[in-house]
Amino acid sequence: MTLRLSVLDQSPISQGQTGGDALRNSVDLARLADSAGYFRYWVAEHHGTSMLAGTSPEILIGPIAAATTHLRVGSGGIMLPHYSPLKVAETFSLLSALYPGRIDLAVGRAAGTDPVTAFALQRDRRHAGPDDFPEQLSELLAYVRDGLPRAHRFARLASLPGDPERPQPWLLGSSPQSGIWAAECGLPYAFADFIFPGGAEVARRYRAQFVPTPTQPSPYVVVCAWALCAETDEEAHRLAASSRMAFAHFLAGDPIRVPPVETALDFLARRPDAMNAVSQRRRAIIGTPASVREKLEAVRAEYEADEVMVVTITYDHDARKRSYELLVNGR
pLDDT at residue 326, as a whole number? 97
Local confidence band at 1 (pLDDT 50, 70, 90 cut-offs):
low
Q: Does 221 map to a domain?
A: yes
Q: Is the pLDDT of residue 38 over 90?
A: yes
Specify the pTM. 0.94
Percentage of the chain beyond pLDDT 70 is 96
CA distance 11 to 20: 10
User: What angle do helix axes 57-67 and 85-98 make, rounded to 10 degrees?
Assistant: 10
What does the pLDDT look like over 52-86, one tens digit per residue?
999 999 999 999 999 999 999 999 989 999 899 99
Local confidence band at 280 (pLDDT 50, 70, 90 cut-offs):
low
pLDDT at residue 277, as a whole number? 67
The more confident residue out of 279 and 305 is: 305
Q: Does 309 map to a domain?
A: yes
Residue 169 structural domain: 5-225+288-329
What does the pLDDT look like over 119-134, one tens digit per residue?
777 777 777 777 889 9
Average pLDDT over residues 307-323: 98
pLDDT at residue 331, as a whole number? 58
Classified as helix, coil or strand, 39 is coil
Q: Burial of 56 by CB count in 10 Å (0-12 exposed, 13-18 middle, 19+ buried)? A: middle
Average pLDDT over residues 10-26: 97
Q: Is the pLDDT of residue 322 over 90?
A: yes
Local confidence band at 149 (pLDDT 50, 70, 90 cut-offs):
low
Q: Does 253 map to a domain?
A: no
CA distance 137 to 81: 9
CA distance 110 to 264: 29
Q: Does 279 map to a domain?
A: no
Average pLDDT over residues 296-305: 97
Q: Does 12 map to a domain?
A: yes
Average pLDDT over residues 101-119: 85
pLDDT at residue 123, as a whole number? 77
Q: Does 264 map to a domain?
A: no
What does the pLDDT look like over 211-232, one tens digit per residue?
999 989 999 999 999 999 999 9
Contacts of 122 (CB under 8 A, 6+ apart): 82, 129
Number of domains in the chain: 1
Q: Does 249 map to a domain?
A: no
CATH number at residue 141: 3.20.20.30
Q: Does 233 map to a domain?
A: no
The more confident residue out of 146 and 44 is: 44
pLDDT at residue 325, as a whole number? 97
Q: Is the pLDDT of residue 147 over 80?
A: no
Contact yes or no for 15/259 (Cβ under 8 A): yes
Please, which residues bridge with residue 308 across strands?
Answer: 5, 223
